[in-house]
Amino acid sequence: MTISLQNTILNAIKLSLEKITIANGYQSDVAIVKRGVRTIDDMVGALPGLTIWKEKNIREDDYQTGSMSILVLHVWGFCNVDARNDDYDNLDKLVADVEKVLTSSTHNPTYYTATFIRDTEYFEGGPEDAFGIFDIVVELKYFYNFGSI
């Protein structure tokens, strides 16, 4: 597994997520995008916020010169919601924006055809929570040559 290629992919996806702004045609203005497993505490004062982290790398097929693999990523999103008034629009808009940017030839030009959105889980927040959270599982297929780091 080539670590530098995985870093290249993750950095490209992170840059794509940073393109989520109203000026770019999205419904949200993402304030911060981080890498790694983060919590709402890492997003204080910077909502909506996103974090991207890799769960695993699945080797699909080996060839004489390399391997076809699937990089499993998670995109966690954090945003303000108004649970007391059943208003989760910000959460739904941010999920839609993440899906749109990941499949965009403009904002994810290198990997949009290899990016597949799988599952999305939500925590909508309750009356005592001023925020909602989601977890989007993304699979990204790529080929790498053995011995290339």
**Using one digit for the tens of pLDDT, what is the confidence trace for 67-109?**
889 999 999 999 999 988 989 999 999 999 999 999 999 999 9
What global pTM score does this model have? 0.90
Those residues with Cβ within 8 angstroms of residue 9's Cβ, 6 or more apart along the chain or in another chain: 71, 111, 140, 142
Fold classification of 3-145 (topology level): Alpha-Beta Plaits (3.30.70)
Residues 120-144, mean pLDDT to the nearest whole number? 91
Domain assignments of the chain as residue spans, ordered by start: 3-145
> What tokens appear for 43 in the block?
């997003």
What percentage of the chain reaches a pLDDT higher than 90? 70
- Measure the CA–CA gap between 90 and 74, rounded to whole angstroms: 19
Residues 44-55, mean pLDDT to the nearest whole number? 93
* Helix or strand (DSSP H, E) at 35: strand 32-35
Q: N- to C-terminal Cα distance for the chain?
A: 8
Q: Is 123 or 44 the better-scoring residue by pLDDT?
A: 123
